[in-house]
Amino acid sequence: MEENIVNRLRNRLADARSLGLNVRLEPLDNQSATWCEIAGIPTLFVDLSQPAGEQLQQVDDALQSFHQDRASFPIQSDIENRSPRAA
C-alpha cells in the first residue's frame, strides 16, 4: 500500500532532521522551500501555505540541493576527518 502524502512529508522532514538540518515550518508567501545556513546551522524552510503535495515536492528539491551543495563544498569537519592520501 502506498504511503499517503502527509506521511511521506513527515518522513522526509524526519530525514532532513537526521541529516542535521533545522526544519522551520512557516508561511513563505509562495516562495519555494529552500535551505540555507544560519549561524553555521543548515536550516530547511518549508512553506506552510502550500498543500502537502507541493510541500513534499519542495522539500525533495531542497534536500537534493542540500546534497549537491554538500558534495561540492564539504564542511570543515568533513575536511578534518579525511585521512591523508598515501604518497
Counting the structural domains of the chain, the total is 1
Q: What does the pLDDT look like over 11-29, one tens digit per residue?
A: 999 999 999 999 999 998 8
Residue 64 belongs to some domain of the structure: yes
Q: In this structure, is residue 14 part of a structural domain? A: no
pTM for this predicted structure: 0.73
First to last CA, the chain: 53
- The answer to whether residue 59 sits within a structural domain is yes
pLDDT digits (tens, 9 = 90+) for 17-69: 999 999 999 998 877 778 999 998 999 999 998 999 999 999 999 999 988 88
* Domain contains 67: yes
* Full residue range of the structural domain in which residue 58 is found: 48-74
Burial call 58-85: b when 16+ CB within 10 Å, e when fewer: bbeebbeebeeeeeeeeeeeeeeeeeee
